[in-house]
Copies of this chain bind each other. A is one copy, B any other.
Amino acid sequence: MTIQFEFDEKVVAIAQRTEKLVREEVLPVESEYSGSAHALPDGPRELLQRAAKESGVFAPHVSSEFGGLALDMRDRAPVFEAAGYSLFGPLALNCAAPDEGNMHLLERVATSAQRERFLRPLATGEWRSCFAMTEPAPGAGSDPSALATTAQRTSAGWVINGHKWFITGANGADFAIIMARTSGEPGDRGGATMFLVPTGTPGFTRTRDIDTLDESMFGGHSELTFDSLEVGDDAVLGEVDKGFDYAQVRLGPARMTHCMRWLGSARRAADIAIDRANERRAFGGRLGELGMVQQLIADNEIDIEASRALILRACWELDSGESGAQITSITKTFVAEAVNRVVDRALQVCGALGISGDAPLSRLYREVRPFRIYDGPSETHRWAIAKRVLREAR
């Protein structure tokens, strides 16, 4: 047993096939839709997923029971990064947010019947899903305990009332995992339950699709209203009142897969800048011969390597069965900020070209910014990191 950074041959092969798929099949589609998944019809999505299946890289995170490649967290890292090289790559591999995190959660928490009903079609790409937790102010945001949506017991099951927003992928989703309060008051650190609810259920309304800075997540981000939404007991995911615990089960790994995918965006931006610096001439030489450009390019490499190393470190801890709360907070905060720095520097190297839609940098610039807010803003993570380390030292 010692420190080891070498991937199994099988994993290397999957990553390489993913790279090839992205280069040959995915990037052209992305380019056609200017990287906006909001504008992407179902057709191309199906086409891309078929290509991924043919390449043998579909659903890398799913167990073989449900048709996936059963990669552990560490082994997902190079594959998801390769997928993330295109904004549409994760969609092709069916490992995009929020479906990917939902599959992870269902594998761990759902009953066998729920898995057959919800996980199986999700894992094959037949269905899509969403995760309905975030609420507009003063509800659950950075502070999940503010959860205001309620599920009240009835003789027949539960009735859910509430208001959600920024629910990624809700447009077109077949079902939602809804987080609702089954006990306590907003502000209490417990009392939440998760429900599996088909989006066609009466009382489930998608009130609007939110216009957002980022546009690469399939289905976008929507606002939902639950108005006396009735569900049976079989809709309960896991146990009643344990919703916040399950959110943690989902969040740790979901944070890391977010990091992996977005790191792909960073790598791509860095590559575009490198190519530009090699080609563009200014001030009597290649752009890449100018010291300040070299600094931007070197700092990109530093940020990318540090991100990769941290992701593997955190994934190893998750794979070891630890909660990984501290290391995933650390990694998510670092990688989200590093990815933003990388894309910003790449855009700067490319100048006006970077600002234009002729390079994908202006799109990437928009896509990566929310990452410092989604899955917990950097400030919330820093607060949690400091609290843990201070508590341990006392």
Q: Tell whether, in the assembled complex, residue A302 and residue B366 are in contact, meaning their CB atoms are under 8 Å apart.
A: no
A313 at the interface (CB under 8 A from B): yes
- Nearest neighbor of A11 in chain B, beta-carbon distance: B2
A304 → chain B closest CB, angstroms: 9
A145-167 residues at the B interface, CB under 8 angstroms: 146, 165-166
Q: Tell whether, in the assembled complex, residue A297 and residue B386 are in contact, meaning their CB atoms are under 8 Å apart.
A: yes
Give 12 pairs: A residue, B residue, CB < 8 Å, sorted on A.
A1-B4, A2-B74, A3-B77, A6-B320, A211-B356, A271-B393, A274-B390, A291-B295, A298-B389, A301-B330, A306-B306, A306-B330
From A107-115, A170-178, A247-255, A347-355, the one touching the partner chain is A347-355
A348 CA to B371 CA, complexed, in Å:
11
Q: How many copies does the complex hold?
A: 4
CB-defined contacts of A146 to chain B, threshold 8 Å = 282
A238-297 residues at the B interface, CB under 8 angstroms: 271, 274-275, 277-284, 288, 290-295, 297
A309 at the interface (CB under 8 A from B): yes
A142 at the interface (CB under 8 A from B): yes
CB < 8 Å: which of B278, B295, B309, B327 contacts A313?
Answer: B309
A385 CA to B275 CA, complexed, in Å:
15
User: Could you tell me which A residues sit within 8 Å of B by CB distance?
Assistant: 1-8, 11, 34, 72, 74-75, 77, 134, 137-138, 141-143, 146, 165-166, 187, 210-214, 221, 271, 274-275, 277-284, 288, 290-295, 297-299, 301-302, 305-306, 308-310, 312-313, 315-317, 320, 326-327, 330-331, 333-334, 347-348, 351-358, 362, 365-366, 369-370, 372-374, 377-379, 381-383, 385-387, 389-390, 393-394
A369 CA to B77 CA, complexed, in Å:
31
CB-defined contacts of A11 to chain B, threshold 8 Å = 2
A376 → chain B closest CB, angstroms: 10
CB-defined contacts of A301 to chain B, threshold 8 Å = 326, 330, 385-386, 389
CB < 8 Å: which of B210, B297, B305, B389 contacts A330?
Answer: B305
- Nearest neighbor of A373 in chain B, beta-carbon distance: B351
CB < 8 Å: which of B143, B378, B393 contacts A275?
Answer: B393
- If A213-B366, A271-B393, A306-B310 touch, whether A386 touches B298 (CB-CB below 8 Å) is yes
